[in-house]
């Protein structure tokens, strides 16, 4: 490529983008001019072969010898810009433009320098000159608009696009760019006018009507929005999104029944895939609406979407969670089991399944099986361990129950989750296996967390009396149960029995008599009463 542009010689302007080094025809060439051309070619060759330091030196020597050589100033400026020396690059490029102001390449380089230096006024001036030189290049108008935006001149930014629009007519990219500029400027009225002009120029494009409707929705001009939504509906009754948009319109205008109806229509459209429908449900209704005021419609649509899916198991986790929140535990458990077969690595799925199974008595054995599997995968989580202990205790396998319960205690309880419940089970198991000191400690730990649990207070008091424990403590705890429920036969019996174990049979007798009067068929109560009556000589 011939490097030129020195002195007063001019390069011929080509229709396409010319080289920044292209020469204009000359009448005659002197020896001196040929020498200068050779120097410029040498500098360019060094630059193109990566010998940048040498190229920079060659350009510098040439500009020193021939300060009127625009191409040399341009080349020097480009190399300086590559090194990050913006100020020096700017000075060189300004010299090139001053010598040859109609060279677009030089102006583009100058714009780059001004952008990097933060000179927005210079940047807009550069792009104005470029647009003037090449008015048919669409991209230049966008760059000019962006330059005005960088200078915080929104009017200028829009006017640059208006100039393009006057050349090529109303087009989507230009109109939408102007709309975005007015939105950013806080001028929704002007943004709307841009969209209206676009819609009028392309009346068959329904999406512009939809965009306009959404614009009016943002401005809370709901009547206007409805007019444009109706235009979309009229243009294409089978549009897969129009009923979704109308549902949102009715929701915003406080017509919940109409909103639900439009959502039902949207879900009936076969163009909407299951994933879109489920995402729509999750975003359209707030949680309190989904599980409360709109639960009937929301759940029916969810159920319909899942059943129509080619792969219902893909949505098993979400569907199971919804069923669980609706207390449909058996159905929820089935969905969560499906989700676990696909991915067993998420503890929260195991926990949800276990919670559901605790509410399905006929699946108690399955609950225990899943609890054992979950505790192997997630040994530090409390719920699976607790449920294993709970299951074994219910089946009177007290020693077996202690192993997972003690493991839970060893790992600790996050934020106290299930701590009291676990201590209570451990206390019962320790007592049943004859480990009384551990039982008393576990009971004390439980009551420190649940001091008003009168059922446990009663059991603990009774167990102390049976094992010659702290009878004074037992009497105090039993007395608290009677204060809470003075007519409870079991609590009356416990209190009377503790008095008996303390040798206070005459005091014990009225409590035991009253207990039997409340439950005359209870054999344990009658046995206690007979024993105390004998001790009293009756």
Using one digit for the tens of pLDDT, what is the confidence trace for 43-87?
888 888 889 899 899 889 988 988 988 998 999 999 999 989 999
pLDDT of 520 over the 90 cut: yes
Tell me which residue of 325, 527, 461, 231 sits closest to 336, measured CA to CA: 325
Give the chain's mean pLDDT: 90
pLDDT band at 309; cut points 50, 70, 90: confident
Of 146-155, 174-183, 200-209, 449-458, the poorest mean pLDDT is in: 200-209
Token pair recorded at residue 283: 């975003």
pLDDT band at 3 (very low <50, low <70, confident <90, very high): very low
* Region 151-156 average pLDDT: 92
Q: Outline which parts of the chain fall under CATH 1.25.40.10.
A: 1-117, 464-538
What's the pLDDT at 189?
85
Average pLDDT, stretch 310-323?
A: 90
Residues 442, 257: Cα–Cα separation, whole Å? 56
pLDDT in tens, 491-511: 999 999 999 999 999 999 999
* pLDDT over threshold 70, residue 13: no
**What's the average model confidence in pLDDT over 27-33?**
68
Q: Is it the case that residue 473 has pLDDT exceeding 50? A: yes
* 1-117 homologous superfamily: Tetratricopeptide repeat domain (1.25.40.10)
- pLDDT value at residue 18: 56
What is the reported pTM? 0.61
Distance CA 318, CA 321 (A): 5
User: Cβ distance 389 to 360 under 8 Å?
Assistant: no
Rounded Cα distance between 408 and 401, Å, is 11
- Residue 7 CB neighbour total at 10 angstroms: 15
**Overall average pLDDT of the 228-237 stretch:** 90
Give the DSSP letter string of 381-405.
-HHHHHHHHHHHHHTT-HHHHHHHH
User: CATH classification of 464-538 is 1.10.101.10, yes or no?
Assistant: no
Q: Does 409 have pLDDT greater than 70?
A: yes
Where does the pLDDT of residue 6 fall: very low under 50, low under 70, confident under 90, or very high at 90 and above?
Answer: very low
């Amino acid at each position: 490529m011939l490097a030129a542009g020195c002195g007063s010689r001019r390069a011929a302007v080509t229709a396409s983008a010319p080289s920044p080094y292209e020469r204009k025809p000359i009448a005659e060439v002197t020896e001196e001019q040929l020498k200068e051309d050779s120097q410029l070619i040498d500098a360019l060759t060094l630059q193109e072969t990566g010998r940048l330091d040498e190229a920079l030196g060659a350009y510098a020597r040439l500009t020193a010898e021939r300060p009127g050589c625009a191409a040399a100033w341009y080349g020097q400026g480009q190399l300086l810009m590559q090194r990050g020396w913006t100020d020096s690059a700017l000075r060189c490029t300004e010299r090139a433009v001053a010598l040859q102001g109609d060279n677009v390449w030089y102006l583009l380089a100058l714009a780059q320098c001004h952008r990097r230096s933060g000179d927005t006024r210079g940047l807009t001036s550069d792009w104005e000159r470029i647009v003037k030189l090449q008015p048919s290049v669409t991209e230049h108008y966008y760059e000019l608009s962006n330059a005005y935006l960088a200078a915080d001149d929104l009017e200028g930014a829009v006017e640059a696009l208006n100039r393009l629009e006057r050349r090529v007519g109303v087009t989507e990219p230009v109109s939408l760019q102007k709309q975005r500029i007015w939105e950013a400027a806080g001028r929704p009225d002007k943004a709307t006018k841009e969209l209206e002009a676009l819609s009028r120029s392309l009346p068959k494009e329904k999406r512009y009507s939809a965009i306009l409707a959404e614009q009016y929705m943002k401005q809370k001009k709901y009547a206007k929005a409805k007019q444009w939504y109706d235009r979309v509906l009229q243009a294409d009754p089978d549009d897969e999104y129009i009923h979704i948009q109308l549902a949102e319109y009715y929701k915003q205008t406080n017509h919940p029944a109409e909103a639900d109806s439009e959502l039902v229509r949207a879900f009936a459209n076969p163009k909407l895939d299951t994933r879109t429908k489920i995402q729509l449900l999750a975003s359209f209704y707030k949680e309190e609406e989904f599980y409360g005021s709109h639960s009937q419609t929301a759940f029916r649509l969810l159920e319909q979407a899942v059943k129509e899916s080619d792969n219902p198991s893909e949505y098993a986790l979400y569907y199971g969670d919804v069923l669980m929140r609706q207390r449909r535990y058996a159905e929820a458990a089935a969905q969560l089991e499906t989700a676990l077969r696909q991915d067993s690595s998420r503890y929260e799925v195991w926990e949800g399944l276990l919670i559901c199974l605790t509410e399905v008595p006929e699946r108690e054995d399955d609950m225990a099986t899943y609890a054992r599997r979950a505790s192997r995968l997630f040994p530090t989580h409390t719920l699976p361990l607790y449920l294993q202990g709970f299951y074994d205790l219910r089946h009177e396998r007290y020693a077996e129950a202690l192993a997972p319960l003690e493991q839970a205690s060893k790992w600790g309880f996050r934020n106290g989750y299930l701590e009291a419940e676990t201590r209570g089970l451990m206390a019962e198991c320790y007592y049943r296996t004859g480990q009384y000191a551990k039982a008393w400690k576990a009971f004390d730990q439980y009551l420190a967390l649940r001091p008003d649990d009168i059922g446990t207070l009663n059991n603990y008091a009774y167990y102390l009396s049976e094992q010659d424990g702290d009878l004074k403590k037992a009497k105090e705890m039993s007395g608290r149960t009677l204060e809470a429920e003075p007519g409870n036969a079991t609590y009356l019996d416990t209190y009377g029995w503790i008095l008996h174990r303390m040798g206070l049979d005459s005091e014990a007798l009225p409590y035991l008599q009253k207990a039997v009067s409340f439950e005359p068929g209870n054999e344990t109560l009658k046995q206690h009463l007979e024993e105390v009556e004998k001790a009293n000589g009756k």
